[in-house]
Amino acid sequence: MALLGVECGGLSLRNPILSASGTFGHGLEMQHFAPPRTLGGLVSKTVTLKPRPGNPHPRIAETEAGLLNSIGLENRGIEAYLRDVLPAMAGADCAVVTNIGGEKVEDFAELARILDERSEVDAIEVNLSCPNVQGGKLPFSTDPRVAQSVIASVRATTRKPIFAKLSPNVTDIGEIAKACEAAGADAVTAVNTLLGMSVDWRTGAPGINTVMGGYSGIAIKPVALRCAWQCVRAVKIPVIGCGGIGKASDVLEFLVVGCAAVEVGTSCFSDPSNIARLAGEIEALLDARGIADVRSLIGSLRVPGAPAAACAPTLAGAK
Ligand X SMILES: Cc1cc2nc3c(=O)[nH]c(=O)nc-3n(C[C@H](O)[C@H](O)[C@H](O)COP(=O)(O)O)c2cc1C
Contact residues for ligand X, defined by CB under 6 A = 20-23, 45-46, 67, 69, 71, 73, 99, 127, 165, 192-193, 214, 216-217, 220, 242-245, 264-266
Given the complex with ligand X, which of 148 and 192 has the nearer CB atom?
A: 192
- In single-letter form, the type of residue at position 226 comes to R
Catalytic residue among 8, 94, 130, 180: 130
Is 94 assigned a catalytic role? no
**Within a 10 A sphere around the Cβ of 99, how many other Cβ atoms?**
24
Given the complex with ligand X, which of 263 and 283 has the nearer CB atom?
A: 263
Integer angstrom CA distances of residue 139 from 5, 20, 69, 147? 34, 19, 16, 9
What's phi and psi for 82, nearest 5 deg?
Answer: -65, -40
Least Å distance between CB 3 and ligand X? Answer: 25
State how far the Cα of 105 lies from the Cα of 46, in Å rounded to an integer: 15
Q: Which residue is nearest to ligand X (CB)?
A: 22
Given the complex with ligand X, which of 2 and 229 has the nearer CB atom?
A: 229
Q: Are 266 and 217 in contact (CB under 8 A)?
A: yes
State how far the Cα of 7 lies from the Cα of 171, in Å rounded to an integer: 29
Given the complex with ligand X, which of 165 and 178 has the nearer CB atom?
A: 165
With residue 85 as reference, give the H or E element that holds it. none
Strands 66-69 and 95-100: unpaired
Least Å distance between CB 39 and ligand X? Answer: 14
**Helix, strand, coil shares, percent, the chain, to 5:** 35, 20, 45
Given the complex with ligand X, which of 22 and 144 has the nearer CB atom?
A: 22
State how far the Cα of 316 lies from the Cα of 319, in Å rounded to an integer: 7
State how far the Cα of 305 lies from the Cα of 25, in Å rounded to an integer: 44
State how far the Cα of 106 lies from the Cα of 78, in Å rounded to an integer: 14
Least Å distance between CB 7 and ligand X? Answer: 22
Least Å distance between CB 300 and ligand X? Answer: 23
Least Å distance between CB 279 and ligand X? Answer: 17
Active site residues per annotation? 130
